[in-house]
Amino acid sequence: MTVRILPARQEVMQAARRYAFLGLALFALLAPAAHAVPVNFQPVADGVYAHIGEMGARTVANEGLNANLGLVVTPAGAVLIDSGATYRSAQQIAAAVRRITAQPVRWVINTGGQDHRWLGNGYFQAQGAEIIAHAAAEADMRDRGGDHLAALRAALGPLADGTVPVLPTRWLQGRDERLELGGVVFEFKHRGGAHTPGDVLVWLPQKNVLFSGDVVYVDRLLGVMPYSRTRPWLATFDEIERLAPAVIVPGHGQVTDLATAQAQTRDYLRALRAHMKQAVDEGLDMSTAIKTFHAQPWLGLLNAAELMPGNASRAYLELERE
């Protein structure tokens, strides 16, 4: 018996080595073409999907796709929520959509004015999609689109090739707007901006799912930028509490619930504003105000150390103007 087993085992080993070599050769052959950012839509409700982007910086490896995306499949077509940062990453998003549904992307919604929300628009518009955003995003997109692209070119090199800032073709005007596609209702809530001036909530009442865009950050600290406004940001958050969604797809971080969003986004903004209001009222200088902010509850969030000082200074300046 042993005499027969031994050669068989040797053959298996030889075959394994041969296949391993073949596998390596195949991998080497495919590797350049296979270098593509992984976009992966996971179901969050019936016909509703989310791609959870990386939480770090824009890199060659993630092709600027460091934010979350949404997909809603209706019988009359698919709706993409945010189009990614580049033409090339938009192609990867489209390929990920095709793995979920054969429906064409009829609408693309841009939830805000930051690059990874809309610089992939050109690809989808060329495919026949209508691009939708809130009118409050227009000036911001026009102002910053070119700068975004320059920064992406610096970070991504040739991976940013083909990207052109393509503005939406349909601007939503009101505080509350409603659209319907294939029987699926999309409600839009704009309360004066948040992380960017055009930040809009996309609420699916039949699905009990909210795509918050950059109104909600979890797992990583939110960014208060020069174009952010914390007062309307909290007013927008009030609207989320009124809607009480079962599922929140945040702008950044894992799919979450209201309690987590309250703790990691609302409570931080409230504490920051309260602290800076008191500092401004008492005539405290900015650097003292920044140093005395009690940041402890949010220090565990990713990027907290880097973002805290800038957030605090911009909140101080905003409170000074109010």
List the structure tokens of 26.
């195949």
**Residue with Cβ nearer Zn ion (55 or 159):** 55
Q: Closest separation between CB of residue 110 and Zn ion, Å?
A: 12
Q: What length does the chain have?
A: 322
**Closest C-alpha to 101, from 53, 46, 52:** 46
Q: Closest separation between CB of residue 78 and Zn ion, Å?
A: 22
- Taking CA 289 as the corner, what is the angle to CA 305 and CA 269, rounded to the nearest 5 degrees? 60
Q: Which stretch binds Zn ion (CB under 5 A): 9-17, 23-31, 67-75, 92-100?
A: 67-75
Q: Which stretch binds Zn ion (CB under 5 A): 23-31, 65-73, 236-244, 257-265?
A: 65-73
| Contact by Cβ (8 Å): 312, 293 | yes
List the structure tokens of 130.
């209508």
Q: Which stretch binds Zn ion (CB under 5 A): 37-45, 96-104, 107-115, 199-207?
A: 107-115
**Residue with Cβ nearer Zn ion (115 or 318):** 115
**Closest C-alpha to 100, from 127, 65, 70:** 70
List the structure tokens of 205.
């009442």
How far is Cα 124 from Cα 291, in angstroms, rounded to an integer? 46
| Contact by Cβ (8 Å): 101, 184 | no
**Residue with Cβ nearer Zn ion (308 or 319):** 308
**Residue with Cβ nearer Zn ion (65 or 79):** 65
**Closest C-alpha to 83, from 32, 23, 123, 33:** 123
Residue count, binding to Zn ion (CB under 5 A)? 4
According to DSSP, residue 255 is labeled -
Q: Which stretch binds Zn ion (CB under 5 A): 23-31, 84-92, 250-258, 276-284?
A: 250-258
Phi, psi of 96, deg, nearest 5? -65, -35
**Residue with Cβ nearer Zn ion (74 or 83):** 83
Judging by DSSP bridges, how do beta strands 130-134 and 105-109 pair with one another? parallel
67 touches Zn ion by CB under 5 A: yes
Q: Which stretch binds Zn ion (CB under 5 A): 74-82, 90-98, 133-141, 245-253?
A: 245-253
Q: Closest separation between CB of residue 252 and Zn ion, Å?
A: 6
**Residue with Cβ nearer Zn ion (67 or 85):** 67
How far is Cα 208 from Cα 45, in angstroms, rounded to an integer? 8
Q: Which of 115, 140, 214, 318 binds Zn ion (CB under 5 A)?
A: 214
**Residue with Cβ nearer Zn ion (74 or 228):** 228
Q: Closest separation between CB of residue 214 and Zn ion, Å?
A: 5
According to DSSP, residue 159 is labeled G
Count CB atoms within 10 A of the CB of residue 97: 23
**Residue with Cβ nearer Zn ion (152 or 280):** 152
Interface positions, 108-137, toward Zn ion (CB under 5 A):
114
Q: Which stretch binds Zn ion (CB under 5 A): 96-104, 157-165, 180-188, 244-252?
A: 244-252
Q: Closest separation between CB of residue 117 and Zn ion, Å?
A: 7
Distances (CA, A) of 160 to 63, 116, 129: 8, 12, 21
Q: Which residues bind Zn ion (CB under 5 A)?
A: 67, 114, 214, 251
